[in-house]
Structure 1
Amino acid sequence: MHASHDLILVLFSYVIAVASSYTVLDLAASAGQARGIRRWRWLAFGAVLMGMGIWSAHFIGMLALNLPVPVKYNLLKVLLSITAAVLGSFLALAVIARFRAGLRQLLGGGILLAAGIAGMHYIGMSAMQIGIVYRYGYVVLSIAIAYAAAYAALWLSFSAMTGNEKQSGWRKLGGGLILGAAIAGMHYTGMLAAQFEPDHMHGDLPGVVLEQKWLAYIIAGGMLFTLWLSLIGLNISRRFSRKDTKILVNEKWYRSLYENNQDGILSVDLELRIIGFNPAASRITGINQETLEDRSLDFFLNIVVEEERGRMHELFSRSFGGEYIGYETTIVHQEGHRVDISVINAPVTVDGQVVGTYVIARDVTEDKQVKERNHYLAFHDELTGLPNRRMFNQLLEQAIEAHSGKQEPFGVMVLDLDRFKMINDSLGHLYGDLFLQEMSNRIRNSVVNENVILARLGGDEFALLCRFTRKQMNVTDIAEAMIAAVAQPYHLKEREFYVTMSIGIAFYPYHGQDPVQLLKNADTAMYEVKKNGKNDYHFFSEELNGELLERLELEGDLRKALERNEFVLHYQPQVHEERKAIVGVEALIRWQHPQRGLLSPAVFIPLAEEMGLIVELGKWVLREACRQMHRWHEAGGPLVPVAVNLSSQQFHQYNLLEEIVGILKESGLAPEYLELEITESMMMNANISAEVLSGLVKTGIRISLDDFGTGYSSLSYLRLYPIHKVKIDRSFIRDIVTGGEDQAIVSAIITLARHLKMDVIAEGIETREQLDILLDGGCREFQGYYYSRPLPAHEMADMFLLAARTS
């Protein structure tokens, strides 16, 4: 039977196939993003929509067929063809909605979709109550077309789901066109496979004759309208979905920030109920989350320290009024300790109305402790806990301001420990720190009260602010009490150590009207005490100003003296009285000042020690003395040693032995002709001293103990260390003629040295009477003005060394 097609309806069938394919592929992306029951709802809706679209395209194509005879349709089979289309679409959508582009998934999805399209077509064809004979080659071709187009459409659909938004639109459109072509191509190829036989019409079978043209248009219009509504609904749904997703994502971000925030956060509504809190809030307060839940704000305020609760109520009232407030307060942790917190009350506003507030709390206990500690250290001495120089200056400024109206006087003292440097150098800084702590406690306990403030300015220097009225002021009692407290022996390392204190005193407003001038003048008075023998106090006077200026000038000149070669050595002979022979000379430094003339070491040696020049100066003395003695030996003088004093700082140099050996090699003097004079104060640290002295003695250098008897623990020094000679201090010789005690001490020293097989020499001999007493006591070697004052090198050679050579 010859058949023809209505081309307009053919076009409609293709448009419907494309439109339904595009709509469903667009819907598949939403189905793939959905989860749970929503996902299955999307798939069911899409399957119905796609199945109806495929069926509509097919049915319109059927109605486009013009046969010369009317044809009845079996409605049950029509409905069955719709079911096949919907089921195939559902299975295919379920595959592609999983977002997996594996070959198996695409092949399987293509087979399912092609089966649905083919099944729908041939079931629909069987609904026609007319004989149909199929050419099976075309049948296979129609199914192949359906499968190839379905596979290509599914691949494009997957690409659309995984691409960007712009690519996605074009790929879905391409997928719709291809899938529409699959439906149309399969249908019309299938129709080409069918041969209708009017002789085999089933007129006796039940069926319905359809009005082809108008029914096709109605189905096409209805389906297009349905697809249009679906696209609009899908777009609206997608917008809501995006909004919901954005809200959900934002909520997750907010919840993560809320839960993981290191600051404690409480959410409080207008009814003062705690409606939210994070783990940090429990950690800071020590209250578990079950206890905090749905509690009144008063429950939280009850853990605030009592003195802060009233202020907290006021601050929360302001916060609920819409004010953003930051403050600090203190709460009591559930374990009982106090926690300092920094708090922010941040109002929550909805539509311009305050609906509650966030309480954001940070534990700043440790930060506050560090801040307080840093502030404390900025104004206190870490070693002693006393106010430091900065704080003392501030207190001094406050005292000046308080006394400036009536010019009411108050006192400022500067205190310095005598001989502390020697202890610190000998024992090391650790024991020096312990010693300083003990001395500061003694001073503080002896005088400090609400009107007296003690501060440590640095090193062993302290300051005292006496804020008395004029009638109450008695600074001499304070000074004497401190001197007495410091003078007590200090037990350290199984030994007793003694120090004294020098104190300078200045008064406001007479000696200065600002902190700098007052401290400077008190410092000047303190140095006057040191110059005059130490262990005393002295008031500032204008005369001291001139001395201070002179001292500053001297310091400036001293720095340049070595460069200008202004130092010279004088030599004092050491004589064996019975043999009437010179047994050695002592090298003594002098400063040939260009304006002041020849200066004694008592004038500049203390300055050199304070300025850190003593090591360099001592090295120069040692080198010059060795050179001179070697020259005398070369000139034929007696082979006697030269005695050189070592300072404490020199003795404690790590490379002392190497330096001395180097100087001996440089000068050419044999080690046995160098005698180093040391003091007891240098040997307080037994381990260091024994090592240094042993190294010196091994080279052949002789060791002499100077000023013997004036220090402490002398007997233990004589027993421990390799000492060749003991030098009796001039302080015992001065009054030996009239003082029985000095004679006894000198006699004991001589006897002790003999038993220890040490040489003994007495210094400071000025009269025959002193010499005779020492001779009777057994001493044979002497040094002093009785024989000669210290002489320049050429006079020493002429008077003693050349004479000894010629004799």
Structure 2
Amino acid sequence: MDHTLHGTYDYFLVILSYLIAVAASYSALDLAGRVNSSKGKNRLLWLVFGAMSMGLGIWSMHFVGMLALTLPVKVVYDTGLVILSVVFAILVSAIALLTVTRNKLEVKQIFIAGLLMAAGISGMHYTGMEAMNVEITYDPYYVILSVVIAGTASFAALWLLFYVNRDQSRFVHLYKLGSSLIMGAAIAGMHYTGMVAAHFHTSPHMMDNQEMQMGTDTLAYIIVIATFLLLGLTLFGVFINKRLSQKDSRIQENESWYHSLYENNEYGIISINTSGIILNMNPAILTIGGLRAEDYLQQHISKIGTILAEDARENAAEWYNQSFGQMAKNFETTLIRPNGQRVELSVINVPVTIQGEVVGNHLFIKDITEENRVKTIIKHQADHDELTGLPNRRKFYELLNRTIHANVGETTTFAVMVLDIDRFKMINDSLGHTYGDLFLQGVSSRIVKCAEASQAMVARMGGDEFTVFCKTGADGVEAAELAEQIMEALKQPFRLKDNDFYISASIGTALFPIHGKDAVDLLKKADTAMYQVKRQGKNGHQFYSPDLDLQLLDNIELESDLRKALERNELELHYQPQFHAESNQMIGVEALVRWKHPKKGLMSPGLFIPIAEETGMIFEIGTWVLKEACRQMKQWHDEGGPLIPISVNLSSQQFHQPNLVMYIKNILEETKLAPKYLELEITESMMMDPAVSIAILQELNKIGIRISLDDFGTGYSSLSYLKKFPIHKLKIDRSFIIDITQNSSDKAIVAAIISMAQHLKLDVIAEGIETKDQLDVLTENDCQEIQGYYFSRPLSAEEVEQEFFIPGRIAGEIGG
């Protein structure tokens, strides 16, 4: 007779079953992460181990829950069905882990996997129930409800497993714990709903086949021991895995750093093994060389050698053969891209060492084409003049020294020439530095053009000083010819600021080894020769001679004495009278400076004025001359002398000072000489910049000062000067007067100057008249104002007074 059995629950075991479900859920969540982060065989092992651990956990929860039910009869379990229920639990777990470890999970996939899990859990539960030796009937409603709960729990478990598996925030452990509590409750809910659906009855077959059955006590201990053992192993595996994962993570992190450094390095990198096989190449080297990785990977490094420049291959091969050492080495080479472009490379090999043994190399390659180009530019700038592009002083010394060392003991002769531009300072001061720079560029271009035919080297030493280095014979003929060519080229006008400018050059030459055997000595002696040219009137060429050293010492001594001349009142003025040719009356005097040297006696300006110009003392001397001349003329006026003007030569430095007009006014006010009695003599060279010169001359003209154009016709005169500038008088230079009686050209030039001046309403005066014949030629051409030794040499102030200002001659009339 069949009887219905009513059981009671052990709540401790109920709670324990729930805790087991929670622990199994937490373990599942953690294992899902391990499976997802593993690859290859490790992934499969973690999947199998995870499925078994999770499955046994779920199965243990169910059977602990079943053991929590106490029936009034002894219950035993069929071992085969128990094992089958375990298989169901493990399969369910495997399905769960396979599903949630996907990179992307769609709703459809969750739904299908949830159905499979629900079927598996239900199968595990009801197979386990069937293993009891008790007859069981079920309430269909609760069975369906338990399956629904199983399905819902499966969907929820899958979603939680997937979500928590992707979460990498710092709260992940809290998410796992909360999810485990929910999943445990769902699993327990399904189980106990299924238990409610079951009705137990006695059965006549309860004791059949006892060999294949186990008692509840035995099952309980086995379940508990197995559950905690598996959970313990799982947790221990998780712990070990975390340690290994941390290590793997560090390795992976290091690999990521290395990979990032490798792939994103601005240096090109080629990795090769000791056999020379190319293992890897980063993107940078492909860009640098214009290469394709597939053409070179797993190929021998010698294939790279085929795209190197031919002149670099041998050196590269030799370097490569020495590159497998313990130390990094570097060298430079050149690569030819497929488009033919040359790329200059710096290559550093870094040995790869494992356990003390070199297993390969990383070749770090940098494109230094632009870097080398910049270095070349910087080196060129260091060795060359920025303005003209010529070699500078440093480069010139280097080349000169190199040539000297190469010719020690040889019979080769070469010349070192120092060239200085005459009147450059005047052009620079007049036109400004911008036009001065353009002028120097034009000068250098002409010198270089002359030097090319002689294969000479030209350098700019600074300012307006150039040097030329050329081969020549022992007699220096070739050097002299080159100097003449340069001087002739520089005589041609330079067009600047809509005007033609004329210059000349002073050139000094020293010969190796005749005049010196080192660079410093040769340049010094060439410089000495050049300054001798300047002292002799500029515009010429001279070779060095030992006599020049004595002259140089004299000039140095003279310069020192000249600096003290003003302090010691050694300068004095002489005055050369100027006369009217017909009336023989004195019409003016020209002030001429003399130096009464304590040892050398009275010195003419030609001996010390060039030194004053070179040293900058000309301004101070010019100021003294102007003041003294004005003072003396005012004194003569006050003492009853004729009211005639005094002519004073104005230096270029005085003319180009920024406050010239105020400077003149102050001197006139200081000496109290009326402006109309001052005549300033200027040269054409002072009027290089018409805009500036016209303004200055107009201001001087406004205050009543007369302007005389000195040495007219000797330079490269521009008739536009006479039209533009407020000039009152032209002064015919003595060079046209000397041969005027024999040279028809000089006579014609003088006649033309006189006629032109008359038509332009300008006064004209001739200087340097020494004979009656010269005077006659001038008067025949209607030149009325004259000056020269024929009438009077330059006189001191006392001599002027005695000769011309004594009673009876106060008007300055010439006797006889």
For the aligned pair, the TM-score class normalised by the smaller chain equals: 0.7 to 0.9
Structure 1 CA distance for aligned equivalents of residues 248 and 508 of structure 2: 83
Counterpart of 2:222, as a letter, is I
Which of 358, 367, 370 matches 1:366?
370
Alignment of 1:12-27 (within 5 A): 16=20, 19-20=23-24, 23-24=27-28, 26-27=30-31
2:442 alignment partner in structure 1: 435
Aligned match of 2:794: 789
Structure 1 SS opposite 2:716: coil
Does the C-alpha gap of structure 1 residues 261 and 669 become closer, same or farther in structure 2, counting only changes over 3 Å?
farther
Whether the 8 Å contact between 2:383 and 2:391 is mirrored in structure 1 is yes
Show the 5 A alignment for 1:169-318. Answer: 202-203=201-202, 211-239=215-243, 241-268=245-272, 274-289=278-293, 291-292=295-296, 297-318=301-322
Distance in 1 between the 2:255 and 2:263 partners?
12
SS of 2:308's partner is coil
From 753, 758, 776, the equivalent of 1:754 is 758
Aligned partner of 1:393 in structure 2 is 397
Task: Choose 724-733 or 589-598, whichever is displaced more.
Answer: 589-598
The Cα of 1:726 is off from its aligned counterpart by 0.8
- Paired residue for 2:534, among 530, 536, 548? 530
| Residues 637-646 or 514-523, more deviating | 637-646
Q: Which residue of 2 aligns with 1:718?
A: 722
Amino acid at match of 2:765: I
Q: Which residues in structure 2 correspond to 1:16-415 (within 5 Å)?
A: 16=20, 19-20=23-24, 23-24=27-28, 26-27=30-31, 30=34, 49=53, 52-53=56-57, 56-57=60-61, 59-60=63-64, 63-64=67-68, 70=74, 202-203=201-202, 211-239=215-243, 241-268=245-272, 274-289=278-293, 291-292=295-296, 297-319=301-323, 325-348=329-352, 356-381=360-385, 387-398=391-402, 400-401=404-405, 405=409, 412-415=416-419
Question: In the alignment, is the contact (CA less than 8 A) between 1:572 and 1:587 conserved in 2?
Answer: yes
Q: C-alpha distance in 2, partners of 1:794/1:76?
A: 155
TM superposition shift of 1:490:
1.9
User: In 2, Cα distance between the equivalents of 1:322 and 1:93?
Assistant: 49
Task: Give the CA deviation at 1:760.
Answer: 1.1
2:605 to 601, 604, 614: 601
- Contact 1:29/1:161, CA 8 A, preserved across alignment: no
Match of 1:444 among 446, 451, 454: 451
Corresponding residue number in structure 1 for 2:106: none
723, 742, 747: which is aligned to 1:743?
Answer: 747
- CA apart distance, 1:369: 3.6
8 Å contact 1:414–1:522 — kept in the other structure?
yes
Listed as ranges, the gaps of 5+ residues in structure 2 are 1-5, 104-117, 140-148, 208-212
Deviation string, structure 1 residues 656-712 (Cα, Å, up to 9, x no partner): 556556766777766555543221223344455445545554565433211101011
Give 2:614's match in structure 1, choosing from 597, 610, 629.
610
Amino acid at match of 2:554: E
Partner of 2:518: 514
Aligned pair 1:776/2:780, yes or no? yes
| Match of residue 106 from structure 1 | none
List per-residue Cα deviations over 1:406-444 (Å, max 9, x = no partner).
Answer: 898765443444445555555632442243224423541
Aligned to 1:727: 731
Say if 1:6 and 1:487 are closer, same or farther in 2 by CA, change over 3 A.
closer
The gaps in structure 1 that reach 5 residues or longer are: 99-114, 134-142
Q: Quick one: which amino acid aligns to residue 203 of structure 1?
A: T
State the shift of 1:122 in Å: 12
Q: What SS does the aligned partner of 1:545 have?
A: helix
| Gap change, CA 1:239 and 1:671, over 3 Å in 2 | farther
- Cα distance 1:21–1:420, how it changes in 2: closer, same or farther (>3 A)? same
CA root-mean-square deviation? 5.9
Do 1:490 and 1:496's aligned partners in 2 also have CA atoms closer than 8 Å?
A: no
Shift of 1:600: 3.9
Mapped to 2, the partners of 1:355 and 1:84 lie a distance apart of 51
Q: Which is further off, 123-132 or 523-532?
A: 123-132
Shift of 1:718: 2.1
3-state SS of paired residue (1:757): coil
**Preserved contact between residue 63 and residue 128 of structure 2 (Cα < 8 Å):** no
Residue 551 of structure 2: SS of its match in structure 1?
helix
The 8 Å contact of residues 19 and 176 in structure 1, kept in 2 or not, is answered as no
Q: Which of 678, 685, 691 is the matching residue for 2:682?
A: 678
How far off is 1:26 after superposition? 4.1
Give the secondary structure class of the aligned counterpart of 2:474.
coil
Instruction: Give the aligned residue type for 2:733.
Output: D
Number of positions where the alignment pairs a residue of Structure 1 with one of Structure 2: 770
Letter aligned with residue 436 of structure 1: V
Q: Which moved more, 1:410-419 or 1:717-726?
A: 410-419
| Identity over aligned pairs, percent | 46
Once residues 236 and 275 of structure 1 are traced to their aligned partners in structure 2, the CA distance between those partners, rounded to angstroms, is 35
**CA distance in structure 1 between the partners assigned to 2:553 and 2:620 by the alignment:** 25
Preserved contact between residue 446 and residue 485 of structure 1 (Cα < 8 Å): no
The amino acid across from 2:614 in the alignment is: E
Alignment-derived partner of residue 492 in structure 1: 494
In 2, distance between residues paired with 1:636 and 1:65? Answer: 157
CA distance in 2, matches of 1:34, 1:640: 118
CA distance in 1, matches of 2:183, 2:346: 70
C-alpha separation in 1, matches of 2:573 and 2:523: 38
Contact 1:425 1:648 in 2 (8 A): no
- Deviation string 1:489-524 (CA, Å, 9 cap, x unpaired) is 424339876655444344556644533233223322
Partner AA of 2:532 in structure 1: E
Rounded to whole Å, the distance in 1 between the matches of 2:283 and 2:187 is 64
Q: Are the aligned partners of 2:417 and 2:508 in contact in 1 as well (CA < 8 Å)? A: yes
Cα distance between partner residues in 2 of 1:743 and 1:513: 52
- Cα shift readout 1:100-120 (whole Å, capped 9, x = no counterpart): xxxxxxxxxxxxxxx99x999
Taking the aligned partners of 1:704 and 1:431, their CA distance within structure 2 comes to 31
2: distance between equivalents of 1:131 and 1:563?
143
C-alpha deviation, 1:758, in angstroms: 0.8
Q: Which amino acid aligns with 2:794?
A: R
